[in-house]
Homo-oligomer: A and B are copies of this chain.
């Protein structure tokens, strides 16, 4: 293998595939990046066996040459060193050449690195996924849907299925749901499917977090291909594979209350900042709990009390309060997570009693829903 490549393109690709590489792997070759040079260009692969990322650098794009392939072939290089090296090379172009015994030379200007490589044949094969029946979603929408739900996955391995986001595709609608059993986040959006696709899968939260980092902010489409135990996201020059979680995701639809006792409309930012302040002293107490009480004239009161440190009380003017009086306690962290996920300057909150789950939505928008279980305080 021998080629000369534009350094900036190489650096970007290496950064992308590095997101899948971990030093904590039981398969030593996975600490490396696989580099394959063909006549068409160079493909880099990184993997931790849960997530695999493949980045393709075309030999030529938009009429300008990015890679000059002198000899096709492949190598696996230690990701940690290779990524540091390419970032610090002195010139705009880099020559990479594999000699005998997987010895690899990286040349740029007057600097020459010799790295001990590994046999690319030893690198695990990526899952083979049949193409052609993918679902297309705009990158922006996909990133927003991930951001609005993934924070609510469980971080505990007690119920592994809850560490993933449940994605359902049915009747031309994609819905994403995450819950850690104390709160739930849901986002729906219509998508274009050119067939009667119906899927119900659970994607690890960790995979979606990495995917979100790696995807550019663009309205270009991402193609999603789903198989038995893998999902593939295809963006321009980028393939992102993740394994799926096995098992049945709980039916969450019955958790969402349909009745109502107290309805509030609030300015999102003002409410978020008041919760944030109240949580400053609550953070130290058990569960980071703050209290919300309705007062007269549409005012609500946010408070928290940690006797050893102090207490905080703040009044927030609501846009409207309807229904019964209410005193309720909840986790400030869950509330702030939910408020940050909701787009829109005004939010609608529906309480069904001090001991029952309550729901937050943007005003006049049912595509996103955040549900939080209150905390009992005595």
Contact = CB atoms under 8 A, between A and B. Distances in A.
Interface string A61-93: 000000000000000001001001100111000
A111 interface: yes
How many copies are assembled? 2
Given A110-B315, A112-B314, A314-B111, A85 B309 contact: no
A88 B316 contact: no
A276 B90 CA distance: 11
A111 B309 contact: no
B310 A116 contact: yes
Interface in A182-232: none
Contacts of A312: 111-114
A110 B280 contact: no
B110 A316 contact: yes
Contacts of A314: 110-112
A369 to B, nearest CB: 28
A84 B280 contact: yes
A150 B277 CA distance: 39
* Tier of interface size on chain A: 20 to 34
A361 to B, nearest CB: 25
A115 interface: yes
A115 B311 CA distance: 7
A251 interface: no
Contacts of A110: 314-316
A308 interface: yes
B280 A81 contact: yes
B277 A88 contact: yes
A256 interface: no
A107 to B, nearest CB: 10
A267 to B, nearest CB: 12
Contacts of A111: 274, 277, 312-314
Interface in A277-314: 277, 280-281, 308-314
A314 B112 CA distance: 6
Contacts of A277: 85, 88-90, 111, 113
A241 to B, nearest CB: 29
Contacts of A116: 308-310
B115 A309 contact: yes
A273 to B, nearest CB: 6
